[in-house]
Each structure stands twice: as structure tokens, then as C-alpha cells.
Amino acid sequence: MACDQETFNADAILLAPGRIGSGWLIDRMRTLGVAMRHNPIDVGVRVEVPNEAMDRIIHGYGCWDPKFHMQTPSYDDFVRTFCVCPAGFVVREPYGDGLFGANGHSMRDTGSPNTNFALITRVSLTQPLENTTEYGQRIAQLANTLGGHRPLLQRLGDLRRHRRSTWDRLSRSHVEPTLRDVTPGDIAMTYPRRIAMDITEGLEMLDRVMPGVASDSTLLYAPEIKFYAMRIATDTSLRTSVPNLYVAGDGAGVSRGIVGAAATGLVAAAGIQGQLTPGAEDNLKPRSAHIC
Ligand SMILES: Cc1cc2nc3c(=O)[nH]c(=O)nc-3n(C[C@H](O)[C@H](O)[C@H](O)COP(=O)(O)OP(=O)(O)OC[C@H]3O[C@@H](n4cnc5c(N)ncnc54)[C@H](O)[C@@H]3O)c2cc1C
């Protein structure tokens, strides 16, 4: 319920405004003196390969959205696959402030000859810059500047050979891009070396279980960045340091997906129910909040 003007009385309040409301929630929490910290972000690319390269995993093992978690050999960074879209399409995703990245989806009634997925590396920062969102935005800005406000597209073979992709080179490739509103370019000009290496090493590891995924024709779209809201300090029932005030979902930085968001709603609801149960006086005492 949106209530800019009115006052509502309640025994307990649950705030779950989602990513779109995270800025508002952070402002409220600052005003109320609730502790918060920055969450890590994930930076990487949208990878596009022929359906055949992933067919054995997706259809052979019946795993529609396979998740691979890897540690890269050079930097020991955590890299993972996410949001696999069989026979799907790569799409532009607005990040706000005129910035665009790549994302993907599959359609129920139509398909493409390609499968796409996100390959992303986890970035956490410590002092003096803890603001991972600012870091991700700077990377997105640079990619958008180089791409003329379009996502960059590069063949893996061109990235390996330290050269820019062009439409001419792409036309000689085995994989036809499903998103053409892009600028062929050089991801190495945009991403820090560490992230570019994480991507190539991640693809080489994936190639061992899905031969062909790291072929020179594999297409990489950048940027693909998963931003996450700040993590609001709570106890294990998702109650903040403000008595009777609970948070849940992506906007509070306690979940990163639809199932997790629903689960945090249940956790908070159970906390409220426990707190408001008659006779459970102990539950009514405010508990100190900490970051789980
Ligand atoms: C394009 C896209 C694709 C996605 N694909 C996947 C996927 O494949 N798998 C997956 O797990 N997750 C996916 N997600 C993420 C998933 O949608 C979220 O993780 C989930 O919806 C978070 O739930 P939530 O309840 O925290 O927030 P939301 O679902 O965003 O709900 C918050 C609600 O609060 C409302 N609100 C905000 N501020 C106010 C206010 N001031 N007053 C009143 N109402 C307000 C919002 O309008 C919204 O309805 C995707 C998200 C996007 C954008």
C-alpha cells in the first residue's frame, strides 16, 4: 500500500518494496538509524552458443537451467552460470540512467538455434570503496560509452586474440547473434583484466563438460551486471533494530530471486506471528539487530 499522506497504526510492519523500492527503503533505514552494508555484485557477460553445445546437459540430463559454480585458476574468483535460456534470445536490459546491459529469455511459442546464459563473477569490495553498486555502474558506463549506448558484442576468438570484433568477422562466425542492436567491440577495453580472465577461464572450465561452449565462435555480450540492494541488518526473523519493523525480499538485500524473496516473506511472517502470539511476552522485547 502506498501511503505518502496518511498514518496507519499496526502491531507490526513488514517492508518489502523490491529492487525498485530499495532506494526508498535505504533512505528510511538511514533515517531510523538501522545498520546496513553493501552486498557483492556479479559482473560478467551474456554468452550465446549453438543449442547443440548444451543439448546433452539441458535435454540429456533434463536440467533446464543448469547452474555451474567454479573457482577460477588465476584469481581464485567465484564464477557461475545463471539464467540459462535454451533456444532463447538475448535482449537489452535497461539499468537506469540511460545505461543498458544484456539479459536473455526463452519464449514459449518460438525458439532460436542458440542457447544463452549469464557467466558472472562475484565482486566484493572492502575499504576505502565498499560501494559495489558504484563500481558496477562505472563498468556499465564505460561499456555503454564504448558501445554508443548499446551492449558490446565480441566473439570469444577475438577476445582471445586481443582484437575487436566487427560485423564482417561476426558474419564469418558459426553463431548468428539473436540480438543485433549491439556494437561489435572489445570487452577487454571495458572490463578489468581480472574479470576478463575470469570469463575466459570460466568458459574453458565449462567446455570440459559442454564441449563447444568455449569455441572461437562463442558470442559474448557485455555488460551483464547483477546489482543487489544494500543488506539491511536484521535478526534471524528479519526484524530490524526498530521494534516490530520487519523487512523481506530483494529490496532489503536479503534475497536475490523469486523463490528466495518468497521464502524471506515466510520467515518474516513467522517472526511477526511469534511476536504477536498472546502470552509470548518475551517475544515483544526488541532484539538487537545484526547482519546475518
Ligand atoms: C526482467 C527480470 C527477470 C527476472 N527473472 C528472474 C528469474 O528468472 N528467476 C528469479 O528467481 N528471479 C528473477 N527475477 C527477479 C525476481 O523478479 C525478484 O527476485 C522478485 O520479484 C523479488 O521479489 P520482491 O517481493 O522482493 O519484490 P517485487 O516482486 O519487486 O515486489 C515489490 C512490490 O512492491 C511494490 N512497491 C515498491 N515500492 C512501493 C511503494 N512505495 N508503495 C507501494 N508499493 C511499492 C512494487 O511495485 C512491487 O510490486 C527477474 C527480475 C526481472 C526484473
Q: Of the candidates 266, 215, 261, which has an alpha carbon nearest to the alpha carbon of residue 237?
A: 266
The closest alpha carbon to 219, from 128, 148, 153, belongs to 153
**Å from CA of 165 to ligand 1 middle:** 35
CA of residue 43 to ligand 1 center, whole Å: 20
CATH numbers and ranges of domains, the chain: 1-38+232-272+287-292 (3.50.50.60), 41-226 (no CATH)
Are the beta carbons of 153 and 170 closer than 8 angstroms?
yes
Q: Is the peptide bond before 128 cis (omega within 30 degrees of 0)?
A: yes
- Kindly report, residue by residue over 44-59, the tens digit of the pLDDT: 999 999 999 999 999 9
The DSSP letter of residue 286 is P
Could you tell me the mean pLDDT of each successive run of 10 residues in the chain, 292 residues long?
A: 73 93 91 93 97 96 94 97 96 90 96 98 88 91 95 97 97 95 96 97 98 97 92 96 95 92 97 83 45 34
Which pTM was predicted? 0.81
Question: Per the omega criterion (within 30 degrees of 0), is the bond before 86 cis?
Answer: no
Mutate to test the pocket of ligand 1, among 231, 250, 255 (most ligand atoms within 8 A of CB): 250
Contact 99, 140 (CB under 8 A): yes
Contact call for residues 291 and 231 (beta carbons, < 8 A): yes
Which pLDDT does position 292 carry in this prediction? 32
**Would you state the pLDDT for residue 142?**
96
Give ligand 1 pocket residues (Cβ under 6 A): 2, 16-21, 24, 83, 249-251, 257-259, 261
Q: How far apart are the first and last CA of the chain?
A: 28
> DSSP string spanning 23-85?
HHHHHHHHHHT--EEPPPEEEEEEEEEEHHHHHIIIIITT-SS---EEE-TTT--EEEEEEEE
Residue with CA nearest ligand 1 atom 13: 257
Q: Tell me, what's the pLDDT at 215?
A: 97
